[in-house]
Amino acid sequence: MLSRLLWGIAGVTATLLAVSVVSFLLVALLPGDLALLILADAATPERVANLRAQLGLDQPLAVRYLWWLGNVLSGDLGRGIHSGQPTLDVILSRLPVTLELILLTQVVALGVAIPLGIWSAYRRGSSIDTATLIGSLCLLSTPAFVIGLVLIYLFALNLQWLPATGFVSLGEGLGGNLQSMVLPVVSLALIEVPVYLRLLRSEMIGTLQQNFIALARGMGLPTWRILVENALRPSSLNLITVVGINMGRLMGGAIIVEQMFALPGVGQLLVESIYQQEYLMTQGIVLFVATMFIAINLITDLVYALVDPRLQRGREH
């Protein structure tokens, strides 16, 4: 048990280090004079010389990496060239919007996918099942921004039920905040539904053929109780893993959806930093987001162990 835990920690540390190397190289390998590139139009001889010294550009790459890593570990990801604000502060100030978007999306996507997945597995081959599968394939074939455009066209412009842009933060009121989140969340959730639905359906079909389901049926339990209480849990193990892994995919979707609906989140910040060639901001976001997702996957593994009692027992022996 202990050695397993230690190996796990070592593995995560190694991955984090490797991720930091990649993030470092993302900027260090930029062709040309790094200080000039980073400062761009804000470059004065004095500032270039300062930044050169700060980045240690006359040092070998490995030394620069260690130097940079030391700064990162103390929370210093550099400063914005135009704003002068610390990169980490800017990222953290944008984080709540993105986290809200991603979490609401997971809730909505699972809320739609779980009942549909259970039902289409139970009524396998029925017209509902077929319609669900075709619908899934359609959604899998549509970019999130196209779904967003359709939703904006229908619900914001024609019916005028919901705002297309104009983010209301949580601090300004929950109602307005949720209203401004509906369209972005639905756009993003609709491309996740087919992923979860198809996975749960195929796992569920396997589970429903097991003996303990036949036993529950023989005991005369109502169908919905068998499906929800007996079949869902053993069928949802892979789903939990995929929900965790999908946080990364959702971050990608969030970039596009935030840009589309003008949500001031990390995704929009990343696109802005690319447009404005704020390389240190880009680097900071890449490192931050990757670290966050490694942590999330670690948590997913722990949840997995909680849901699957076999894993816990396996560890005790």
Partner 1 sequence: MQPRLPLGVGLAVTWLALVVGAAAMADWLPIADPTRQSLLQMLAAPSAEHWFGADSLGRDIFSRTIYGFRVTLAVSLGSVALGLLSGGALGIVAGYFQGVAERAILMGVNVLLAFPPLVLIIAMVAYPGQPLLKVIIALGIVFMPAVTRIARANTLVYREREFMIAARAVGMGDARLIVRELLPNLVPALLAYSLLLVAVAALAEAGLSYLGLSVPPPTPTLGQMMASEQSNVLEAPHAVFFPAGMLFLTIFALNVVGEEVQRRIDRRARAA
Choices 110-118, 169-177, 266-274, 306-314; region in contact with partner 1 by CB under 8 A: 266-274
CA angle 57, 77, 291 (to 5 degrees): 120
User: In this structure, which amino acid lies at residue 67?
Assistant: W
Write each residue from 159 to 198 as x if it is in contact with partner 1 (CB under 8 A), else as -, in one continuous string: ----------------------------------------
The two three-digit tokens of residue 146, written as one number = 């196209």
Which of residues 6, 30, 170, 311 is near partner 1 by CB under 8 A?
30
The two three-digit tokens of residue 56, written as one number = 């240690």
285 is a contact residue toward partner 1 (CB under 8 A): yes
Which of residues 48, 108, 152, 189 is near partner 1 by CB under 8 A?
152
Q: Of 199, 224, 200, 227, whose CA–CA distance to 213 is shortest? A: 227
How many CA atoms lie within 13 Å of 182's alpha carbon, on the beta-carbon side?
A: 14
Which of residues 6, 53, 63, 140 is near partner 1 by CB under 8 A?
140
Q: DSSP labels for 86-109?
A: BHHHHHHHHHHHHHHHHHHHHHHH
Q: Please identify, using beta-carbon distances, which residue of 42 and 157 lies nearer to partner 1.
A: 157
The two three-digit tokens of residue 281, written as one number = 């901001």
CA dihedral 232, 238, 239, 241 (to 10 degrees): 140
- Closest contact distance (angstroms) between CB of 128 and partner 1 is 12
Q: Please identify, using beta-carbon distances, which residue of 77 and 289 lies nearer to partner 1.
A: 289
Write each residue from 195 to 234 as x if it is in contact with partner 1 (CB under 8 A), else as -, in one continuous string: -------x--x-----------------------------
Q: Please identify, using beta-carbon distances, which residue of 177 and 259 lies nearer to partner 1.
A: 259
Q: Of 40, 32, 38, whose CA–CA distance to 54 is shortest? A: 38
Residues 85, 79: contact at Cβ < 8 Å?
A: yes
Which of residues 90, 97, 216, 251 is near partner 1 by CB under 8 A?
251
- Which residues have a Cβ under 8 Å from the Cβ of 302 and sit 6 or more positions away? none
- Closest contact distance (angstroms) between CB of 124 and partner 1 is 8
25 is a contact residue toward partner 1 (CB under 8 A): no
Q: Please identify, using beta-carbon distances, which residue of 101 and 152 lies nearer to partner 1.
A: 152
Q: Of 14, 13, 57, whose CA–CA distance to 38 is shortest? A: 57
Choices 74-82, 93-101, 136-144, 168-176; region in contact with partner 1 by CB under 8 A: 136-144
Q: Would the CA dihedral through 268, 272, 274, 275 be positive or negative?
A: positive
Interaction site with partner 1 (CB under 8 A): 14-15, 18-19, 22, 26, 30-32, 124-125, 129-130, 133-134, 137-138, 140-146, 149-150, 152-153, 157-158, 202, 205, 247-249, 251-253, 255-256, 259-260, 270-271, 274-275, 277, 279, 282-283, 285-286, 289-290, 293-294
